[in-house]
């Protein structure tokens, strides 16, 4: 699928809540997005978890229309599918061989070598390609497709009118299933669709008690922002959670950068997505996410 490229950025800012504090937050979030993107293309959106109101956005047209592979952000939902189906135990461990080649793509793991046995939460935090590609084979193509559709990846978000909707196709081979499990085949989403899926997760994070599958996944998302691939989003004085992605593209041999996450980690109030054309998740996208989380922290504490 050849996706459209979006060029110049446009912004939309809506107040967080009435009064000076809401206006200050909107201004701070918008400034963080503007400074973070500069002249680069992509999209960023911040939404209120409870009501779904858009608090601030950079290039909302791209956020609602741009279709791309989600890359490693999708591992969040692959992990949930594995745990909820009972095909992966929460205490199961895996020793990563680091190197990985699937379907003609070299996809070596982004984490340090020789980490030793990893449990599922650590595998998510470190974004271990080998873990998710191999464990993903425990699911049938139908199970993975249905799980992803269930999180809304081929449905409108209703956050804005006239949005595009993504597609989730069924894998036809083991290599396609491995690639889909790590977000590199058979699924194209808009930034808003990824945002809405993480918003649903954030809403579940507020539940008590948590189901075991959710607890493991949330532990991985929170750890990822401490020591994993999302560590650049770590924000002093505010516990955050999130997942990065550096995805293959349909148009060439470069990559796109993603971050999706929420804060506060234990009782989410905001959820955000950052998408960089020709970027990387752990650096470009997570860096902007950090600026957004810091803006939220400062406004929340005022």
> pLDDT digit string (tens) for 131-140?
999 999 999 9
Best CA proximity match to 197, nearest among 166, 170, 162: 166
Cα distances (angstroms) measured from residue 232 to each of 88, 238, 276, 284 = 29, 13, 15, 9
Residue 132 and residue 73 in contact, taking contact as beta carbons nearer than 8 Å: no
- CA–CA separation, 1 vs 68, rounded Å? 9
Domain ranges (residues) in the chain: 11-300
- CA torsion sign for 104, 134, 100, 256 is positive
- CA–CA separation, 101 vs 138, rounded Å? 18
Choose between 4 and 186: higher pLDDT: 186
Confidence of residue 12 (pLDDT cuts 50, 70, 90): very low
Q: Residue 169, class by beta-carbon neighbours within 10 Å (0-12 exposed, 13-18 middle, 19+ buried)?
A: middle
Choose between 4 and 259: higher pLDDT: 259
**Does 275 score more than 60 pLDDT?**
yes
- Report which DSSP code applies to 104: T
Best CA proximity match to 153, nearest among 182, 184, 192, 185: 192
pLDDT for residue 22? 63
**Does 14 score more than 80 pLDDT?**
no
pTM exceeding the 0.85 threshold for the entire prediction: yes
Cα distances (angstroms) measured from residue 235 to each of 28, 222, 289, 294, 298 = 16, 12, 9, 6, 11
- Average pLDDT value over all residues in the chain: 91
pLDDT for residue 249? 87
Average pLDDT over residues 151-177: 97
pLDDT, tens digit, 9 for 90 and up, residues 61-80:
999 999 999 999 999 999 99
Q: CATH number for the 11-300 domain, one of 3.40.710.10, 3.40.640.10, 3.30.70.3340, 1.10.3210.10?
A: 3.40.710.10
pLDDT for residue 4? 31
Average pLDDT over residues 188-212: 95
């Amino acid at each position: 699928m050849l996706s459209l490229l979006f060029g110049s950025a446009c912004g939309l800012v809506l107040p967080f809540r009435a009064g000076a504090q809401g206006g200050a937050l909107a201004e701070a979030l918008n400034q963080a997005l503007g400074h973070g993107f500069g002249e680069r293309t992509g999209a960023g959106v911040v939404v209120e978890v409870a009501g779904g109101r858009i608090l601030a956005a950079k290039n909302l047209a791209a956020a609602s229309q741009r279709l791309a592979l989600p890359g490693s952000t999708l591992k969040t939902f692959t992990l949930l599918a594995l745990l909820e189906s009972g095909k992966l135990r929460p205490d199961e461990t895996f020793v990563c061989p680091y190197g990985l080649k699937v379907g003609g793509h070299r996809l070596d793991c982004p984490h340090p070598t020789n980490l030793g046995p990893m449990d599922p939460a650590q595998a998510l935090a470190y974004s271990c390609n080998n873990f998710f590609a191999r464990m993903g084979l425990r699911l049938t193509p139908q199970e993975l497709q249905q799980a992803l559709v269930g999180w809304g990846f081929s449905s409108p978000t209703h956050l804005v009118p006239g949005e595009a909707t993504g597609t989730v196709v069924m894998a036809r081979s083991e290599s396609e299933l491995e690639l889909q499990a790590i977000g590199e085949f058979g699924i194209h989403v808009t930034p808003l669709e990824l945002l809405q899926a993480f918003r649903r997760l954030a809403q579940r994070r507020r539940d008590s008690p948590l189901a075991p599958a959710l607890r493991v996944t949330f532990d991985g998302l929170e750890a990822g922002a401490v020591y994993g691939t999302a560590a650049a989003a770590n924000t002093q004085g505010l516990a955050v959670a999130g997942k990065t992605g550096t995805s293959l593209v349909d148009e060439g041999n470069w990559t796109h950068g993603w971050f999706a996450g929420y804060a506060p980690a234990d009782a989410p109030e905001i959820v955000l997505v950052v998408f960089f054309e020709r970027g990387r998740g752990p650096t470009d996208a997570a860096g902007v996410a950090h600026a957004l989380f810091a803006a939220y922290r400062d406004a929340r504490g005022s």
